[in-house]
Structure 1
Amino acid sequence: MKKILVVLTNTTRYRHTNEPTGLWLGEATEFVDVVHQAGYSVDYVSPKGGFVPIDPRSMKYVNEDIMEDYEISDFQDRALCKSLKPSDINSSEYIAIYYTGGHGVMWDFTNNVEIQNISRTIYNNNGFITSVCHGIAGLLNIRDGNGKYLINKKNVTGFTKAEEMIAGKLKLVPFFNQEIAEQHGAIFKKRRAYKEFVVQDGHIITGQNPFSAKAVAKMLISNLNN
């Protein structure tokens, strides 16, 4: 059975500030918990490899399940301390790629050509590209074999401007997901702020916010098991 590749950020702060950011913890643990229960294994990759910081704000929203997954030594070792580099990845081993969120990804996912190439290969091999929340940043600049944006004419979702406003981050983020997605031809869907919402368009599955990670995983597994 092929594996699922989970993409994590290395960014420790909002650029030009001392405010920390990083991985939104539950967006990794909740997704991985669902796919593990379905019998799929995962690997973890980040743009630089190695250490993955956790957004301290995400720790305010943990529950017992998230904490239990966070405390698993395999997750701490392979995801948070020793994530793989893109050059370590053999794309043919994966049936899907999943971009986690946390504001940090807006700086190191968007223009990472190596991970874009991995995603395109998985997609071209009939695999799935998935994301949640700010993780859509990893999809924004992927191009297909004809040089067109992969999300062009695709229905997608991600963390919204309204949600940025509620989070108090409007002046800290380098762009807004909806604006870039629509500039690249996507059809951006959204629902009420901070409510679970997932969109599927072919082999692209995206979730709006942190509360959508499990739903993304369940939709992916439903497709893989068909």
Structure 2
Amino acid sequence: MIKVLIVETNVSRYQGTNEATGLWLGESAEFVEELQKQGIAYDFVSPKGGLVPLDPRSMAYMDASIWKIYESQDFLDRGLRNTLKPDQINPADYSAIYFTGGHGVMWDFPENAEIQAIARSIYKAGGYLTSVCHGIAGLLNLKDEQGHYLIAGKKITGFTTSEEIIAGKKKVVPFLNRTLATAHGANFQKKRFYKSYALQDGQFITGQNPFSVRAVAKLLIEELNACKPS
């Protein structure tokens, strides 16, 4: 059975401040809806397991489809209140891993060895490493067994410096996605700010910003459907 692992943050505040952040709701909900349309199974994991906080700003961008997923009991239970812990995950069960965004991920995704090990196993088995927006943080420090960055030489995208400036968070975030991606050998791509943009390079599928979720999902679904037995 084809199944996707969705990774969400446990971080509720911009570190060192009292300002709330967390998961950008649409980056999980829209992705889930696209998987549901195709009958593709999925699970949720977070670095600590359990509760996933929501970035309150993301609640202002909810259309009917996001509300539908958000109000479903399954999403509330599995996707927000009771996410799995990394040690409950068997990487062999998944054809892809998807890193959601929201600024919180910048603190608990980059150095999480357990989730990195899961992602590395999925990748080694031929699965897909996918992300959107700040979710790129889950890919930036991934290395192979020889210590080489997996993103080296790959075309990837994520929330840009321009978008960080527009969001008013350039001085708050612990790093800038493009700067770190480039330092680790990636070929960072971007389009106009706050416009949908997703691209694929081999087993990597990445999206630039919150408006790119469905584009990422559709690229991944196309690959997963191609893998289904006829």
Give the TM-score taking structure 2 as reference length: 0.97
Deviations 1:128-170 (A, max 9, x none): 0000000000000000122100000000000001001111111
SS of equivalent to 2:103:
coil
Distance 1:83 1:202 in 2: 29
C-alpha deviations, 1:169-221, integer Å up to 9, x for none? 11110100000000000000000000000011000000000000011000001
State how far apart, in whole Å, the 2-side matches of 1:35 and 1:124 are: 23
For residues 61-76 of structure 1, the aligned pairs below 5 Å read 61-76=61-76
Look up the match of 1:208. Answer: 208
Q: C-alpha distance in 2, partners of 1:118/1:99? A: 12
Cα deviation code 1:56-102 (max 9, x no counterpart)? 00011110110111000100001111000000000000000000000
User: Which position in structure 2 is the counterpart of 1:89?
Assistant: 89
- The one-letter code matched in structure 1 to 2:179 is E
For 1:120, what is the secondary structure of its paired residue? helix
Letter in 2 for 1:182: T
Aligned to 1:134: 134
The 1-side partners of 2:218 and 2:144 are apart by 26
User: Over residues 88-124 of structure 1, what are the superposed CA-to-partner deviations in whole Å (9 max), with x where a residue is unaligned?
Assistant: 0000000000000000000000000100110010011
1:79-118 to 2 correspondences below 5 Å: 79-118=79-118
Secondary structure of 1:129's counterpart equals strand
Name the counterpart of 1:32. 32
Aligned mates of 2:77, 2:39 — CA distance in 1:
21
Name the aligned partner's letter for residue 162 of structure 1: S
Deviation at 1:2, TM superposition (A): 2.5
- Does residue 18 of structure 1 match 2:15? no
Letter in 2 for 1:213: V
Q: Percent identity?
A: 59
SS, match of residue 138 in structure 1: helix
Q: CA deviation at 1:39?
A: 1.3
User: Any gaps of 5 or more consecutive residues in structure 2?
Assistant: none
Runs (5+) with no aligned partner, structure 1? none
| Alignment-derived partner of residue 149 in structure 1 | 149
Q: Give the drift of 1:36.
A: 1.4
TM-score (norm 1): 0.99
Where does residue 192 of structure 1 map in the other structure? 192
Contact 2:205/2:216 (CA < 8 Å) preserved in 1?
yes
How many residues matched? 226
CA RMSD of aligned residues (A): 0.6
Runs of 4+ in 1 over 4 A off after TM superposition: none
Q: Are residue 5 (structure 1) and residue 21 (structure 2) matched?
A: no
